[in-house]
Structure 1
Amino acid sequence: MLYDVIVVGSGISGLYAALTAKRSGLNVALICKSNPLRSNSAVASGGINAVLKSTRHDSCRDHIADTLKGADKLARFSAVSSMVTGGEEIINDLLSMGVVFDCNDEGDVAQRPFGGTKAKRTCYIADKTGAAITQTLLVQCRKEGVKLFPNHMMLSIATFKDKMSGITILRRRDSQVIAFACKALVLAGGGYAGIYRGHSTNSQESSGDVIAIALRAKMRLSNMEFVQFHPTTLVGSGTLISEAARGEGAYIVDETGERFTDELQTRDKLSRDIVLHQLKGHTVYLDFRHLGEELIDKKLPSARKHALNGAGIDILSELLPITPSAHYTMGGIWSRNDTSTDMENVFACGECAQSGVHGANRLGGNSLLEAAYFGRVAGTQASIAAKKGVFHPIDYAQVAKELRYVDMIIEGESRFNINTMRRNLGNNLYKNAGVFRTHDSLTNALEYVHYLMKMSSGLCCVNKERSDNVELMSIIELRNALTVAESMLMSALAREESRGVHYRDDFPQSDEKNYEVDTIVRRLAGTFLRITFEGHLSSDWWHRIRKFFHTQIG
């Protein structure tokens, strides 16, 4: 199948990219490996940051300053500035498409406070903001003619003479490997916090597939060690209780009722405070009781539902036990401000990309803005590339190789239990590469990942049916997760300092001299990885020159 632009991922960034490309008059396909509404965007509940004309006591300058401070000196000012100044336009665009934000008494879009900010700048729809935006964008994509392919899992980037020519895909309904050709490709497949299975707010599908695929295609990854833990999730399940709860005034207390921390500090610091308090023998709770039923039912209905369904707790009268869980990943595919990557005509946006706006720690409410803003940028840039580009041939030897790989997984004899391996990986990562880390703990985690990599060759399907074989996709996801975990752990070992969400007990201070730059992961011959630390501008300079002269000539 031939498409001008293919977008992989059905979160806000992927939907925005597909919609933007379609509006430029191109033939656009959107690929997602399950239901389009199962993305992390659809369960992001708290809100989307933006400075609006109606916002009181706030400015773009303050939003930029808050973001840079939260990022702990690793954000790119140019990327942050572009995103922040484009925030109001994104909100207005969403309003024009039918997103119904909550409003204040004056009829303006209502805004609530979030952690690490100086003002109320988070726009919201109760505590289901991400779902409302995702549904609206999905409806708009269907209405405007984007071709949707749910239950299609990307396997690799197809190339011809080192040029991107399309992608190979596993079609879930019959386990067939097919190839789609395109002139431009947008990767928007989400992050990798799901590899912390059992200790994550993400589904197990958040295994970093497109990130692993990009690494295998010799594209750079960046800042993989920065995994953000959300401080308030249900004990035992990892179900997210949105930051909106604390924004609306819920307290964090222990069994004595003491408020031992600042509820609206950045997520990295709050998660560490909670874990340290737990290590002292305390149980930590969210306290909603003083908020009252009217406010909770109006602004925090999902929190009440999750607490009742997930923990059997009625937050109107009971304390809700909480603990930090892996939630969001700042690292991903290295990308420039225009979302371009190392491979020509391949763009990356959303959580799978290291866009330069989050640095070492993301502020709540910034992820949905980043997804929408850079999704639109990616759609625009992919459209430009597609209009100037040509189709390159698909190398069907690569397709045949992928088919043999799938056949081997289905037809081989399984020697291990896939679910046990995924749970063990999650437990090990949470214990050894969690909120606190050391050289020894990270080394232990890396050794275990390498052990699982060897074991994974013995993973095959117990169910040999080719129709809707969930086990097949789970095995591929685990192998991708292990590739991503190795990159994350090696990056964490190399960064011998504490910065943002990356806290090393053996290096508790930040090292501005050696590590105030991005971590870069490259794949060398075979499966060997190389970790370096590089500034962004040095590797971006020649790209800017080439792009300038190409634009002038074009």
Structure 2
Amino acid sequence: MAKVLIIGSGGAGLVSALAAHEAGAEVIVASKTLPTRSQTSMAQGGMNAVLGGDDTIASHIADTFRSSGGLGDEGRIAFMCENAPEAIRWCNRIGLPFSRNGEGDIARRRLGGASAPRACYAQDYTGLKLLHTLYDQCLKAGITFKNERFLLNLIVDEEANRVLGATFLDIPSGEVEEIRAESVILATGGYGALYGKHSTNSVQASGDGLAAAVRAGAKLADMEFIQFHPTALKNSSILISESARGAGGYLLNGNQERFTDELAPRDVVARAIHDEVAQSGAVYLDIRHLGEEFIDHELPQERRLAQIYEGIDPVNDLIPIKPAAHYSMGGIEVDSSCMSSVKGLFAVGECANHKTHGANRLGGNSLLELVVFGRHAGAKAAEYGEKHPLTDRESLQFAKDQNFVRGVMYFTNQIDFYQKQEMLANIFYNNVGLVRDDMGLKAVLGAIRQMQKELPFMGPRDKSKVCNTNLVEFIEFGNKVELAEIIVVSAISRVESRGAHYRIDAPERNDRMFGAHTITWKEDGVLCADFMQ
């Protein structure tokens, strides 16, 4: 029986776990947090699928490719969209409590960039309800969970270019642990937490899987493309779902005038809000006209979030909003079977680049992607493991990581890494955000490289072994700095504007030179970058 190690217990990881288990594999899910706390819970709006009516799968494919800014792979987009109806039926079979229309069918709403209402939803809790449903199914299947395991590195046979497992910090005990497996699926989420308080992401979204993958020899693709969600709460960056605009909400400027198409693609709406804030000083989301009964039935979470974090009631008040970093289109480059350039290492969900989102993700496609490709990745990883049994090859990775954890305790802590982390978040938001230019990007790159030099002087203050969250947060910060360099080098290289990557010094799209993917990797620790079709 093949052993499949899945790292990450959000939606992508849990779908993969169920698929690998169904294929006959022994499955272990390792995660730095508890499964129901993953970022999947923030995907509120719905899951795209064509379920009849006037809509067509061809339209879903066309909408997705158009939103991708020409960087989506049409074959993989077609695979996702064609499998979308079955993905919804599968979710329905395992118990996801979809909202229903008057006829008892799964309710659908239109989200930004879509030509028809095709986002199947469960009120405005779609991701959260999917996550709990998946976790229940995994528990019923008897899948093994190892929670509070922080990923340190992947174990790789460099001669064979094959993954052998991974090393983790067992947070409660402080011990380094090794888990060997025939195949590994990374489902560790994105890197939005790099933007700190300017992100809708939880602090857990620190890009640990991507950093470990690039250190292991995998390639990353399109890391410069980070989607900013148009409607985050002004003071907290808490997400207000696109479902609020899909239900008919308006965007108003400081003069309480509508100024843009609320259901245009996210990159267009986010930049329109950015420009309007600069001109009129504020932007608001208005759902008052939808009425209290509708809001409480369809948008209960959005009302509660506004009440808790802004102290206003959207039944009667305008919701002050701003764009915030939300979704990472870039990720680990994978092939059509979800496998990276390292044999046996698969990736799925936001940490992967399936080339379905390109330069800008279509609203409603994130949950769809993790279900469709999660089922595919789980089956393929189980198949690979069955065909390629694990060897007894020795690896020095476990000893290296034990020494690393011990060594970090001797770092001097002359510099407070929390202050540097906040600085990194602020300069990223201002210079690697909605609007970019060469001078600002190069200034950020200089700051990042200075941080890299200073890391040995930024160790954790807490020198204890048990439940040392200060240590975990320091290692997370190191991963953020590593990825930050890759993101900025990619953004500097792409001298054009496309989707979520907008450069005021190169405002036009250039298909002749940049209709290709930014690929980054490391050779002997040195960052390399190129453009590839």
Query: Is the structural similarity TM-score above 0.5?
Result: yes
Aligned equivalent of 2:120, options 112, 119, 123: 123
1:469-480 superposed matches below 5 A: 469-480=468-479
CA-CA distance at 1:47 after TM superposition:
0.7
Residue by residue, what CA displacement relative to the aligned partner does 1:17-58 show, whole Å, maximum 9, x if unpaired? 111111122211001111112211122111110111xx3210
State how far apart, in whole Å, the 1-side matches of 2:460 and 2:347 are.
32
TM-score, structure 1 as length reference: 0.94
1:19-98 superposed matches below 5 A: 19-52=18-51, 55-98=52-95
1:110-509 superposed matches below 5 A: 110-160=107-157, 161=159, 162-393=161-392, 395-509=394-508
Equivalent residue of 2:196, what SS?
coil
State how far apart, in whole Å, the 2-side matches of 1:410 and 1:79 are.
45
User: Could you say what the CA RMSD is over the residues aligned between the two structures, in angstroms?
Assistant: 1.2
The share of aligned pairs that are identical, in percent, is: 38
| Contact 1:12/1:133, CA 8 A, preserved across alignment | yes
| Contact 1:409/1:459, CA 8 A, preserved across alignment | no
State how far apart, in whole Å, the 2-side matches of 1:127 and 1:418 are.
37
| Contact 1:519/1:531, CA 8 A, preserved across alignment | yes
Structure 2 stretches lacking a partner, 5+ long: none
The alignment of Structure 1 onto Structure 2 pairs a total of residues equal to: 531
Equivalent residue of 1:532, what SS?
strand
State how far apart, in whole Å, the 2-side matches of 1:332 and 1:306 are.
30
State how far apart, in whole Å, the 2-side matches of 1:334 and 1:427 are.
28
Equivalent residue of 2:198, what SS?
coil
Read off the aligned partner of 2:216 and give its amino acid letter: A
CA-CA distance at 1:376 after TM superposition:
0.6
Read off the aligned partner of 1:184 and give its amino acid letter: S
Residue by residue, what CA displacement relative to the aligned partner does 1:510-530 show, whole Å, maximum 9, x if unpaired? 11101001110021222x212
Residue by residue, what CA displacement relative to the aligned partner does 1:290-314 show, whole Å, maximum 9, x if unpaired? 1110010001011101101001011
Matching residue of 1:533: 531
State how far apart, in whole Å, the 2-side matches of 1:395 and 1:499 are.
45
| Contact 2:2/2:389, CA 8 A, preserved across alignment | no
CA-CA distance at 1:396 after TM superposition:
4.9
State how far apart, in whole Å, the 2-side matches of 1:396 and 1:516 are.
40
CA-CA distance at 1:288 after TM superposition:
1.3
Structure 1 stretches lacking a partner, 5+ long: 536-554
State how far apart, in whole Å, the 2-side matches of 1:178 and 1:436 are.
42
Read off the aligned partner of 2:504 and give its amino acid letter: D
Residue by residue, what CA displacement relative to the aligned partner does 1:50-71 show, whole Å, maximum 9, x if unpaired? 111xx32101000000000000
State how far apart, in whole Å, the 2-side matches of 1:289 and 1:419 are.
40
State how far apart, in whole Å, the 2-side matches of 1:462 and 1:421 are.
15
State how far apart, in whole Å, the 2-side matches of 1:151 and 1:393 are.
27
Residue by residue, what CA displacement relative to the aligned partner does 1:146-184 show, whole Å, maximum 9, x if unpaired? 101111011111123443211111100111111111001
State how far apart, in whole Å, the 2-side matches of 1:428 and 1:401 are.
33
State how far apart, in whole Å, the 1-side matches of 2:392 and 2:517 are.
35
Equivalent residue of 1:415, what SS?
coil
Equivalent residue of 1:201, what SS?
coil
| Contact 1:253/1:287, CA 8 A, preserved across alignment | yes
Read off the aligned partner of 1:295 and give its amino acid letter: F
CA-CA distance at 1:374 after TM superposition:
0.5
State how far apart, in whole Å, the 1-side matches of 2:28 and 2:182 are.
12
Equivalent residue of 1:510, what SS?
coil
CA-CA distance at 1:411 after TM superposition:
4.3
Matching residue of 2:10: 11
State how far apart, in whole Å, the 2-side matches of 1:201 and 1:38 are.
14
CA-CA distance at 1:231 after TM superposition:
0.5
| Contact 1:72/1:360, CA 8 A, preserved across alignment | yes
| Contact 1:3/1:180, CA 8 A, preserved across alignment | no
State how far apart, in whole Å, the 1-side matches of 2:208 and 2:370 are.
18
Equivalent residue of 2:289, what SS?
coil
CA-CA distance at 1:3 after TM superposition:
6.8
